[in-house]
Structure 1
Amino acid sequence: MGSSSGTLASDFEGLLRPHVDYLYRIAFRFTGVAEDAEDLVQDLLVKLYPRTAELAELDQLRPWLVRALYRQFVDHYRRRARARLVELDGAAQGADPFDALPGDDPGPEARVERELSGARLLAALDALSDEHRTLVTLHDVEGYTLQELERILETPVGTLKSRLHRARARLRVLIGVEPLGGRERVEN
């Protein structure tokens, strides 16, 4: 049993290790709290371990993993009362996530402006419903197409377009920005 268990462990690690950082990033965007994101990913990996052989046969593992992570997130937070999920105080988590982004700031004024804009954006994302925050994160931040999201979230494209439009409109109101060029059209 020891050798088959060792093989299963190495197969599992080889299959999922390339995706763990990505899953953590997505989980962090879902929860906004580092510890919750770690717990979410760890719980998912524990659930997936016995299904290693099944996972190895998937053609598109990453979208499947994102869907599984999303379901794990929904299940976890469905049981809890609605709470604020994004902490705006980077010190509470040890670091500001926007500090890791590359930039060519011309000076300290630009950095302060970027930090204020980032805090405003995080506050606006926090004010969105879980459904809208997830959709904006997966589509606008991670770059998933509406067709991919249709499979991941198991929601028709038309519904996703409508929700994305409403989520973006709500973000604009929260941030205080008007759309460029009039009406927005949600595409892919």
Structure 2
Amino acid sequence: MAAGAMNERNLFGLLALLLSLLLAGCAPGEEETPPLAGASIGGGFTLTNQDGERVADTDFAGRYRLVYFGFTYCPDVCPVDLQIIGQALRQLEQNHPEVAARVQPIFISVDPERDTPPVLKEYVAAFHPRLVGLTGTPEEIADVAKRYGVYYMKEEVEGASDYLVNHSRIALLFGPEGEPIAIVPHDKGADAIAEEIKRWVK
């Protein structure tokens, strides 16, 4: 066989190989594994919402859950975080309504003594109309915080009758079956939250 014919065959073979690699790169591969996949975090609970109704985690089945723990008397951190989360959800509602519709934002109080349903109702309404506020007995809150890996502790304020609650500052995204997906970067602004939600909500 002539050298020219051999080179031509090699060239076609090389082109075919490159084409197959390009097509393989365009083909859908395995889905990205969520950072918290398989983590022992989350789980069942039954708490009381801002309307005084008992709510279980199973009531949110089929929806992604964006969960944030805090308390209504928090002087700065909680309202700032919730405001940013609310902004991110409004961005998604405007630009990606199909994604936003699948996400249920949830605020769980770590101060059940003061965060009664009426207090929660007024508080959560200030951040987003779909934000669900949950409270419960001290035992119920202790249980759910433990399940979700959240630390909190009451701290007396010297010279004051009120107290503060030192707690983990974290927002967690769970899947439609309650499976842990990711920590949402609420400290990086609304755009970062919206992008992280879009990344995982299918």
TM-score range, shorter chain: under 0.3
Structure showing greater relative contact order (alpha-carbon pairs closer than 8 Å, 6 or more residues apart):
2
Which structure shows the bigger proportion of residues in helix conformation? Answer: 1
TM-score when normalising by structure 2: 0.25
Q: Quick check: which one's strand share is greater?
A: 2
Please report the TM-score for the alignment, with normalisation by the length of structure 1.
Answer: 0.27
Q: Which of structures 1 and 2 has the bigger CA Rg?
A: 2
